[in-house]
Chain A
Amino acid sequence: MRTSLIKNLALLSAGVFFLLGAAAKPSKLVVIAVSTEPSTLDGQAVIDRNSRVASGNIFESLLDRGANGEVIPLLAESYKNLNDATWRFTLRKNVKFHNGEPFNAEAAAFSVNRITDKAYKTQRASYIQKIKGAKAVDDYTVDVMTDGINAVLPVQMTQLVMVPPVAAKDKSFGVTPVGTGPYKFVRWDRGREIVLAVNKNYWREKPSIKEFSVRVIPDPQTQLSALQAGEIDLVLDLLPEQAKLAPKFISVPATEFSYIQFNAHKKELADPRVRVALNLAVDKATLAKALYQGHGKPMDAQHLSKGMLGYNVRLKPYPYDPKQARQLLKEAGYADGFELVLNAPIGRYLKGEETSEFVAAQLKEVGIKVKVQLHEWNAYRKLGRIPGTEANAFDLKYGWNSNEWFDASRIVSHITCKGTSSKLCDKRIDELMAQGIRTLDQNARDRYYQEVWAILNKSPHAIYLLQQNLIYGLAQRLDWQPRLDDEVNVAATRVSE
Chain B
Amino acid sequence: MTPLLQRFLSWGLLIWVGYLLMITLFALTGNEFAPYDPTRQQVVARLLPPFSSSSRGFHWLGTDQLGRDLLSNMIAGARLTLFIGLISNAVGMAIGVALGMIAGYYGGAVDRLVMRLSEAQTAMPMFLVAIFFLTVLGPTVLNVVIILPSLVWPAFARLVRAETLRLRSALFVEAAVATGATDWSVLWSSILPNMAPRIMVLAVIELGHVMLAEAGLSFLGIGVQPPATTWGLLIARGRAYLAVAWWLAILPGIMLGLTVLALNMLSRRFAATSGSAA
Contacts and interface: CB of A to CB of B under 8 A. Distances in A.
Contact of B66 (A224, A239, A357): A357
B21 interface: no
Given A357-B66, A358-B66, A361-B41, A221 B243 contact: yes
Contacts of A242: 243-244
Nearest to B67: A290
A372 B226 CA distance: 9
Interface stretch (B43-51, B73-81, B151-159, B267-275): B43-51
Contacts of B66: 291, 354, 357-358, 361
A221 B242 contact: yes
A286 B44 contact: yes
A259 B118 CA distance: 53
B227 interface: yes
A268 B109 CA distance: 65
B218 interface: no
A253 interface: no
Interface in A345-388: 346, 351, 354, 357-358, 361, 371-372, 374
B150 interface: no
B43 A287 contact: yes
A220 interface: yes
A287 B66 CA distance: 10
B43 A290 contact: yes
B65 interface: yes
B227 A291 contact: no
Contact of B41 (A221, A357, A374): A357
A241 interface: yes
Interface string A276-314: 000000000011001100000000000000000000000
Given A221-B242, A221-B243, A371-B227, A241 B47 contact: yes
B240 interface: yes
B240 A358 contact: no
A241 B227 contact: no
A372 B41 CA distance: 14
A290 B243 contact: no
Contacts of A224: 243
A241 B65 CA distance: 11
Given A372-B227, A374-B226, A241 B244 contact: yes
B65 A354 contact: yes
B136 to A, nearest CB: 14
A220 B46 contact: no
Interface string B222-260: 000111000000000000111110000000000000000
A351 B44 CA distance: 15
How many residues of A sit at the interface, in one of the four size bands?
10 to 19
A343 B40 CA distance: 20
Given A354-B66, A372-B227, A220 B43 contact: no
B43 to A, nearest CB: 4
Nearest to B239: A219
B132 to A, nearest CB: 16
Nearest to B225: A374
Contacts of A220: 240
B92 to A, nearest CB: 30
B242 A290 contact: no
Interface in B194-208: none
A374 to B, nearest CB: 7
A394 B43 CA distance: 27
B76 to A, nearest CB: 15
Interface string A192-232: 00000000000000000000000000001100100000000
A358 B244 contact: no
A260 to B, nearest CB: 16
Contacts of A374: 225-226
B44 to A, nearest CB: 5
A286 B244 CA distance: 20
Contacts of A241: 47, 241, 243-244
Nearest to B243: A221
A490 B65 CA distance: 35
A289 to B, nearest CB: 8
B41 A358 contact: yes
A461 to B, nearest CB: 26
Contacts of A372: 226-227
A120 B242 CA distance: 42
Interface in A224-259: 224, 239, 241-242
A241 B66 CA distance: 14
Contacts of A221: 242-243
Nearest to B244: A241
A351 B240 CA distance: 10
Interface string A78-92: 000000000000000
B175 to A, nearest CB: 62
Given A241-B241, A241-B244, A372-B226, 6 more contacts: A242-B243, A286-B44, A290-B44, A357-B66, A361-B39, A374-B225
Interface of B: 39-41, 43-44, 46-47, 65-66, 221, 225-227, 240-244
Interchain residue pairs A-B with the least CB separation, the first 9:
A290-B43, A221-B243, A361-B41, A241-B244, A290-B44, A354-B65, A221-B242, A357-B66, A354-B66
12 contacts: A221-B243, A241-B47, A242-B243, A242-B244, A286-B43, A290-B43, A290-B44, A291-B66, A346-B221, A358-B43, A372-B226, A374-B226
